[in-house]
Amino acid sequence: MAHLSGDDKRRYVAEMFARISPRYDLMNSLMTGGMHHRWKRVTADLTGRNAVGPALDVATGTGDLAFALADCSNVTEVVGVDLLPEMLSIANRRRAAGSNYAQTVHFVQGDALRLPFPDDSFVGATAGFSLRNMPDVPSAIREMARVVAPGGRVTTLELTPMPPGIASSMGRFYFHRVVPLMGQLVAGERTAYTYLPDSVDYFLTADGLADVFRQAGLIDVGYRRLGFGGVALHFGDRAA
Ligand SMILES: C[S@@+](CC[C@H](N)C(=O)[O-])C[C@H]1O[C@@H](n2cnc3c(N)ncnc32)[C@H](O)[C@@H]1O
């Protein structure tokens, strides 16, 4: 199903995340051995480092990156946007449970390809583990660049095809064999956790995604590999 495009992909992705939402956080922690929390903190720090003001987390899901952004000293307020009410209701429960977040973090329903915000609204924008699920990645990056003010930063954290080698072979075995089994046992969802590694195979290389950032007009574009090379943290700035 990773080969789907356009509305078919949007529908498939929406139904899949609605089904797995109750076990989404648990599965992330199991699959990454808890490392995704650290990757998200690094992403938030890199995003919030440049300027003081509000930040946006696109396709926020259950809100991990929105909360990590809110913990950055430069970030005054965070908006998390997601297509799915099922994910946002978990994010809102977590917001209510965290004493620090009620004033600073807000969640709204919306489409990453048509962000419901005026140009130049935020000092930074993040998107975590969501680009693979978008029907149009260049439009998603252009939208993030549009709503970030000059001098602000766009970052994305995403699973990425690994360069060939021993780590890549081990990674493929883990993602294609172990993760679907985990998904079946923990979330009762082998299909969704088979889609996950397939969607990485269909996704842009890290260099290819950096080119998409540049084509969206971002400057000083680069990326860092995390998680033994299977995760890429991309960044790019709006010219000041
Ligand atoms: C794998 S989850 C990532 C959630 C969160 N960012 C994280 O890092 O844990 C992907 C999220 O993307 C959302 N999503 C997919 N397509 C979207 C779109 N076009 N607009 C907004 N959200 C979208 C899904 O609803 C889901 O919550």
Please tell me the distance from the alpha carbon of residue 193 to that of residue 24, in angstroms, as a whole number: 11
Residue 126, H or E segment: strand 122-128
Please tell me the distance from the alpha carbon of residue 56 to that of residue 181, in angstroms, as a whole number: 34
**pLDDT tens by residue, 156-197:** 999 998 888 888 899 889 989 999 999 999 888 899 899 888
pLDDT value, residue 49: 87
- The rounded Å distance from CA 11 to ligand 1 centre is 13
- The rounded Å distance from CA 166 to ligand 1 centre is 30
Model pTM score: 0.95
pLDDT value, residue 16: 87
Ligand 1 atom with least separation from CA of 57: 6
Please tell me the distance from the alpha carbon of residue 196 to that of residue 192, in angstroms, as a whole number: 6
pLDDT in tens, the chain (240 residues): 667 778 888 888 888 888 989 999 999 999 999 999 999 999 999 999 878 999 999 999 999 999 999 999 999 999 999 999 999 999 999 999 877 898 899 999 999 999 999 999 999 999 999 999 999 999 999 999 999 999 999 999 999 988 888 888 998 899 899 999 999 998 888 998 998 888 898 899 999 999 999 999 999 999 999 998 999 999 999 999
* Binding pocket residue ranges, ligand 1, CB within 6 Å: 13, 17, 59-61, 64-65, 82-84, 87, 111-113, 128-130, 133-134
Please tell me the distance from the alpha carbon of residue 97 to that of residue 93, in angstroms, as a whole number: 6
Encoding tokens for residue 86?
Answer: 């099922």
Please report, for the chain, the start and end positions of each structural domain, with discontinuous segments joined by +: 6-162+204-237
* CB of 232 closer than 8 Å to CB of 160: yes
Please tell me the distance from the alpha carbon of residue 169 to that of residue 176, in angstroms, as a whole number: 10
Kindly list the strands in the beta sheet with 148-159, ordered across the sheet, starting from the edge strand earlier in the chain. 105-109, 75-82, 53-58, 122-128, 148-159, 231-237, 219-226
| Backbone torsions φ then ψ of 120, nearest 5 degrees | 60, 35
**Domain 6-162+204-237 bears CATH identifier 3.40.50.150:** yes
